[in-house]
Structure 1
Amino acid sequence: MVTDEQRDDGASGTVAEAIAAVGPRLRALRGRKDLGLAAVARRTGISVSTLSRLESGGRRPTLELVLPLAEMYGTTLDDLVRSARPADPRVRRPQFAVGARLVQPLSWNRAGRSTYRIHVPGHDTRVELQRHEGHEWLFVLSGRLRLVIDEDDTVLEAGEAAEFSTLRGHWFGSTGDGPVDVISLFSSEGEKVHVRSYEDEDEDEDQGEDGDEERGGGAPEGAETAPAGGADRA
């Protein structure tokens, strides 16, 4: 049973742990900046004694105290007050449909990069080339994937991967033999998801310093594309 006194002192469980962790985090941030308490006091207007008690846990952190410190240290309130217990690492994003395909987000789409699992039904065979900025990397989990890039028409078996610039005309879907499950890594910023091989390294050595062309294991360059062979992403 939690008493009223315990609630007044900061509640129990993860809330109390998060509050208790603020002081050590502030002290660590100040140490990284190589600042004394007096220097922080001058920049924030918070007294040296208050800063000292905050860092030692003798003063309860409040928004009025923590906000100017977070701004000065270049961090966020979330980082300062996050729970001491590890957060649930699972990505919980709803599955959605793109035409006949089912797309399951596997990442939080940070920094213009995203990861999807795509289920392509067996009847999804109509080729419709699309072009847009980005670079895509595909890995076939099951089934047989037909990948068309401009005039190139390739079939990928389960366990095979491909990467390509989405500035080129591209489409992927079923060969008609049955459904396909694919992992798609996409970057809208044009940054390659580059999986180097021993052959790549040998080619780099042969090319020497005069080679200007970045290699992608035989795949064209660019950035990653929409999860359904060029369809818009959510």
Structure 2
Amino acid sequence: MVVGVSDSPGSARALALAGLGDRIRRLRVARGLDQGELAERAALDVAHLVNVEQGDATPSLDVLAQLATALDVGLSQLFTDGKPGPAAMVLRGNEVPTVDTDGMALQVLTPRAVIPGLYAARYRISPTSEGVRPVKHEGHDWLYVLSGQLHVDFEQGATTLRAGDSVSFSARVPHRLSALGGAPAEFLAVGATLLASPRGEV
């Protein structure tokens, strides 16, 4: 089960947030955006974005979702460099960093992707949380519910998933996630971005 952790140096939360601001800055620069342009796209105050990039402010998951959408990446990608790792990598359950804010918890299960373009994460959304505001990004997502009821709102239509249910969809479609039924919704999220081959094929 995903649990909240402290902000003390060396804590799982601190490890998860390490380098977050720098990754956001590098993604912004790679897209040719200045801080003002990214702040406008993400509906954030420029000063707050500056503090986040410099590591002087800890953004909520809601703010991170806004930034991820503005940068056209999955939320989990803000927590990983996405560099290919070794042929096999083992993550022990008690070693996976957790970020827990605003009624949502996130564990990135692929901190250094073995397969480029693939990421996996475990989420828990509290029933008292407003959930994840509508987001969209490149690639495809697959969600698998571990417990509780996960409500997924799409641009057109919606569905409620229970333990054992799953859904897959193009992540370019705006989607909002929330918990129903008075209990937390825990689920796995796996996303993939198709990478072009040297010949330009996918």
Q: TM-score scaled by structure 1?
A: 0.40
More strand, by proportion:
2
Higher Cα Rg: structure 1 or 2?
Answer: 1
Structure having the higher helix fraction is: 1
